[in-house]
Amino acid sequence: MGPAGPLFSSAQIGNSGAMTMRESRGRNADLIVRARRMYTVDRAFGRAEALAVKDGRILAVGSRAEIENYFSAPRHLDLGDACAYPGFMDPHCHFLSYGFVLQRPWLADTSSWEEAVALMAASEIPPSGWIQGRGWDQNRWKKKDFPDRSLLDRAFPRTPAIAIRIDGHAAVANAPALAAAGLDARSRVEGGMVLLRDGLPTGLLLDNAVDLVRAAIPAPSESEMRQALLKAQASCLSLGLTSVSNAGTELREVLAMERAHEEGSLDIRIYAMLAPSAENIETLARRGPLAKDRLTARSFKMYADGALGSRGALLLEDYADDPGNRGLQTLEEGELDRICGIARGCGYQMNVHAIGDGAARLVLEAYGRHLEPGNDLRWRIEHAQLLTDEDLERIARLRIVPSIQAVHAVSDMAWTESRLGPGRMYRSHRYRDLLEHCGWLANGSDFPIEKADPLRGFRAAAFRKDDEGRPEGGWSSDQAMERVDALKAMTIWAARANFEEGSRGSLEAGKWADIVALDRDLVEDGEDSLWDATVQATIVGGKILHRI
């Protein structure tokens, strides 16, 4: 628990303390917000009761009496018994795909492949002409074998259909989908796989082979994209998210976000991590960072490997449950080096997905060729799920930012040991070690791979427990963080991972009034009570966008 800071410090009201307070007597604000308690998440981890907002930014934070004596405002928001925090940020998610997922068959809650296919068969054929299901996970089914296309072929003899695994790194495609992507028994895919049985594709695809099918699907129209964006936004705001980092953004997607920003319908703040395509580099990156109130683009997102669940994560040694297999390397080192060089030249950050310890090694070696120790370029390693001691040290030395998803630890806990064997378990999901080495880190969810609810990530980080509060005592609980650190990882540190700590991530004068209120005190309430915490209000730039 952090120290209780002064209610009304000079730093919060202005630089000259009492002087500023006197001058500001009777000052006009647009909005005054009150709550039982506000966690400012500033340097002192202070507590307050009220804040005043003007033109979307925080004017001052203090006690109820202080704020109400010094400011008058036409609007008051009394959050009653709720606790307020800086708006939650998700530093790594797939915001737009979440918007599409919300409109397509969602397969995560199925208990068998039969049920997943039935759900897809019951859905309407969208304008693209493709049926796209998402979210299956054979580990959650009674029968844990990977599925094949036979049922999908029967349900959709002529319509192309693809069912993507929860992690996005594996999929089952039916015969028309394979044909559309030009995949057959002879296909050899670099960084991916087309699985065969009796000389024929089973329909199961891994990593870059999944991307080949995705590439064959007609791009969504502008209005479909806008609809997806608005749907994702509404859902995220209701969950207390005020800022999201979209991992891997195409140019047309950035343009759709920019249009929404211009027409005033973009309420949430987006940090768009760009796919390093030629058009993104030429059209956006070469002009330097793009920074608007609600839309920032200043980084490249790449993938170095697949995921642990589908044994696509690149390991330094063989999978314990699949000897001879070390996973997939999904990019070439030369290409990674080229993009790192472009990023440095444009003032861009690198965000590279590396789940396996082999992928982490590859990425850190590449970063090491471009970064000097002590730099403040904040290049990030996304996921960082498996790390050797040596690479943990290297991350700290090169000042690389761990962009983790604590919630993956509890999603992976049931089968991590079978993938790695007991001898390598110390390398897995070691978030507290990362925090201790680096001093800070960012915690996101990777939604829609996980649910978008940021409180799941908070609980996984602080308690290493799943949605049911299991296991008792937490999974490898020596890697749990303090609650205060888990809160910072989704606010001020998440902002810092985006170079945005000057304008958001804490409740301080001058920053955007991005606020979330919960009916629970994340720092002080009993652990068990945090499982039914609900969002009471979400405010972005002083605008109340969700309220119950």
Residues near Zn ion (CB under 5 A) are 247, 446
Residue with smaller CB distance to Zn ion, 201 or 448: 448
Least distance (Å) between residue 240 CB and Zn ion = 20
Residue with smaller CB distance to Zn ion, 71 or 98: 98
Task: Please report, as a single letter, which amino acid is at residue 485.
Answer: D
3-class secondary-structure state, position 181? helix
Q: How is residue 344 annotated by DSSP? A: H
Least distance (Å) between residue 97 CB and Zn ion = 9
Residue with smaller CB distance to Zn ion, 42 or 446: 446
Closest among 58, 37, 2, 91 to 517, alpha carbons compared: 37
Other beta carbons less than 10 A from residue 65's beta carbon: 12
Residue with smaller CB distance to Zn ion, 97 or 428: 97
Least distance (Å) between residue 375 CB and Zn ion = 25
Count Cβ neighbours within 10 Å for each residue of 363-381 and write b for 16 or more, e otherwise: bbebbeebbeeeeebbbbb
In angstroms, rounded to a whole number, what is the distance separating the alpha carbons of residues 155 and 174? 9
Q: Is 355 exposed, middle or buried (0-12, 13-18, 19+ CB in 10 A)?
A: buried
Residues 6+ apart with CB under 8 A from 63: 7, 8, 48, 49, 50
Least distance (Å) between residue 354 CB and Zn ion = 11
Least distance (Å) between residue 111 CB and Zn ion = 26
In angstroms, rounded to a whole number, what is the distance separating the alpha carbons of residues 13 and 36? 20
Least distance (Å) between residue 91 CB and Zn ion = 11
Residue with smaller CB distance to Zn ion, 242 or 249: 249
Helix (H) or strand (E) holding 75: strand 75-78
Least distance (Å) between residue 394 CB and Zn ion = 22
Least distance (Å) between residue 271 CB and Zn ion = 13
Residue with smaller CB distance to Zn ion, 357 or 450: 450
In angstroms, rounded to a whole number, what is the distance separating the alpha carbons of residues 317 and 330? 17
Q: Is 472 exposed, middle or buried (0-12, 13-18, 19+ CB in 10 A)?
A: exposed
**Phi, psi dihedral angles at 58 (to 5 degrees):** -80, 125
Residue with smaller CB distance to Zn ion, 83 or 166: 166
Residue with smaller CB distance to Zn ion, 213 or 247: 247
3-class secondary-structure state, position 10? helix
536 and 518 in contact (C-beta within 8 Å)? yes
Strands 535-540 and 349-354: unpaired
Residue with smaller CB distance to Zn ion, 296 or 385: 385
Least distance (Å) between residue 6 CB and Zn ion = 40
Task: Please report, as a single letter, which amino acid is at residue 139.
Answer: N
Least distance (Å) between residue 26 CB and Zn ion = 49
Least distance (Å) between residue 313 CB and Zn ion = 13
Least distance (Å) between residue 447 CB and Zn ion = 9
Residue with smaller CB distance to Zn ion, 247 or 461: 247
Other beta carbons less than 10 A from residue 2's beta carbon: 17
Residue with smaller CB distance to Zn ion, 110 or 246: 246
Task: Please report, as a single letter, which amino acid is at residue 490.
Answer: M
Least distance (Å) between residue 282 CB and Zn ion = 25
Closest among 405, 379, 333, 363 to 166, alpha carbons compared: 405
Q: CA–CA distance from 277 to each of 100, 169, 251, 285, 515 (Å)?
A: 22, 20, 8, 10, 35
Residue with smaller CB distance to Zn ion, 253 or 446: 446
Residue with smaller CB distance to Zn ion, 297 or 539: 297
Q: Is 124 exposed, middle or buried (0-12, 13-18, 19+ CB in 10 A)?
A: exposed
**Phi, psi dihedral angles at 421 (to 5 degrees):** 80, 160
In angstroms, rounded to a whole number, what is the distance separating the alpha carbons of residues 121 and 152? 9
Q: How is residue 153 annotated by DSSP? A: H
